Amino acid sequence: MTPFDTALRVQRREVDSLRISISVAVERLSHLERSHRENIDIARRERASTNEIWVPTDAWAARMRAERTRLLRDARDAEARLAQLRSQATELYGTMRAIEQAADTYRAESERTAATAEQTGLDDVVAARLVRNRLRPGDVR
C-alpha cells in the first residue's frame, strides 16, 4: 500500500466515468448522423413520389429542411462535446499515469529500503559472529 493508492483509485474512477461519457457521446453522434441520412432519404423518396402526382409540399419541405438544419447543428455540438471529452480523457489519463509512476517509485524505494535494512542486519550478524570467534576466551594471540 502506498500513499498514492487512494488518489489512483479516484483517478481510475474518473477515467472510467469519462470513458462511459465518451461512449454515450459517440452513440449520440452516430444517432444524429443516422437521423440526418434518414431525413435526406425520406426527402428524396417524397420528391420522387410527388413528381408522379401533384401534392402541396412547401410546408413539408420547409419542415424537413429545418429538421436537417437542427440535426446538423446538434451533430456539430455533439462533435464539439466529444472532442472536449477526449481532451479531458487525455489529461486525466496523463494524471493517472503520473500517479501510477509515483506509486511504483514509492514501492521500489520501500523495497530498496527494506532490502538495505535486511542486508545491514545480516552484515551486523556476520560481523558480530566474526568478532565473537576472534575474541573467544582462551585464544592466545
Q: Is residue 26 part of a domain?
A: yes
pLDDT of residue 72: 93
Q: Is residue 101 part of a domain?
A: yes
Q: Is residue 61 part of a domain?
A: yes
DSSP assignment of 46-104 equals: HHHHHTTS----HHHHHHHHHHHHHHHHHHHHHHHHHHHHHHHHHHHHHHHHHHHHHHH
DSSP state of 114: H
Q: Which domain holds residue 33?
A: 5-106
pLDDT of residue 62: 86
Q: Is residue 119 part of a domain?
A: no
Q: How many domains does the chain have?
A: 1
Q: How far apart are CA 131 and CA 54, in angstroms?
A: 115
Long-range contacts of 3-12 (CB under 8 A, 24+ apart): 3/106, 4/99, 4/100, 4/102, 4/103, 4/106, 5/103, 7/99, 8/96, 8/99, 8/100, 8/103, 11/92, 11/95, 11/96, 11/99, 12/96
Q: How far apart are CA 18 and CA 141, in angstroms?
A: 78
Q: Is residue 55 part of a domain?
A: yes
Q: Is residue 47 part of a domain?
A: yes
Q: Is residue 139 part of a domain?
A: no
Q: Is residue 38 part of a domain?
A: yes
**Under-50 pLDDT residues of the chain:** none
Q: Which three cell numbers stand for residue 48?
A: 420522387
